[in-house]
């Protein structure tokens, strides 16, 4: 094979997908994060000339991992969901996470209600306000401990 043909083949390989640095930059990640996800089996980019090349499917996989993390899933849960062939396992992981999210949403809504009241409360000391005290009564009685 002549030297120019080899050069053309190498150039063609480089255009097959994105380099790890490009993918990391696109998603605001460090390259070691993508390598870690690969070591866990979450990603499997093709390799050309010993270098990782990420295709469109890999980019969607990275986006799915990030979305799962934002939903509060651990990498192990994401791995289980993405690699299992058993829909029942996937549903179990998602149901548990849905319940956890609902709990966090309820706690956040309670906190927002308390802050909103404190912002508009006309009492000099809002902690003495009857409405404020009603909002935190469950915690005073020990019945509504939330982190």
The yes-or-no verdict on residue 146 having pLDDT over 70 is no
Q: Which residues pair with 48 in a beta bridge?
A: 51
Distance, C-alpha 115 to centroid of its chain? 27
DSSP E strand stretches across 22-145? 46-48, 51-53
Q: Tens digit of pLDDT for each residue in 25-74? A: 999 999 999 999 999 999 999 999 999 999 999 999 999 999 999 999 99
The whole-number pLDDT of residue 11 equals: 44
Confidence bin at 138 (pLDDT 50/70/90): confident
Rounded CA Rg of the chain: 25
Kindly report the backbone phi and psi dihedral angles of residue 38, in degrees, each rounded to the nearest multiple of 5, phi listed first: -65, -40
pLDDT at residue 127, rounded to an integer = 86
Tokens found for residue 115: 């802050």
pLDDT, residue 144, reads: 55
Q: What would the pLDDT profile of 6-28 be if each residue is shown by its tens digit?
A: 333 444 444 579 999 999 999 99
Phi, psi of 98 (to 5 degrees): -60, -45
Question: Which two structure tokens, joined as six digits, stand for 63?
Answer: 């986006």
> Which pLDDT value is given to residue 15?
53
Segment 107-135 mean pLDDT? 90
| Residue 127: strand, helix, or coil | helix
pLDDT greater than 90 at residue 91: yes
């Amino acid at each position: 094979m002549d030297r120019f043909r080899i050069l053309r083949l190498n150039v063609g390989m480089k255009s097959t997908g994105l380099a790890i640095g490009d993918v990391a930059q696109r998603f605001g990640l460090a390259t070691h994060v993508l390598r870690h996800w690969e070591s866990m089996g979450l990603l499997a980019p093709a390799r050309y000339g010993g270098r990782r090349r990420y295709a469109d499917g890999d980019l969607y996989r990275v986006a799915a991992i990030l979305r799962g993390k934002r939903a509060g899933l651990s990498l192990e849960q994401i791995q289980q969901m993405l690699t299992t062939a058993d829909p029942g396992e996937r549903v179990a992981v998602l149901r548990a996470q849905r319940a956890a999210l609902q709990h966090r949403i309820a706690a956040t809504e309670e906190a927002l209600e308390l802050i909103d009241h404190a912002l508009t409360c006309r009492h000099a000391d809002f902690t003495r306000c009857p409405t404020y005290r009603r909002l935190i009564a469950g915690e005073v009685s020990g019945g509504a401990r939330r982190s």
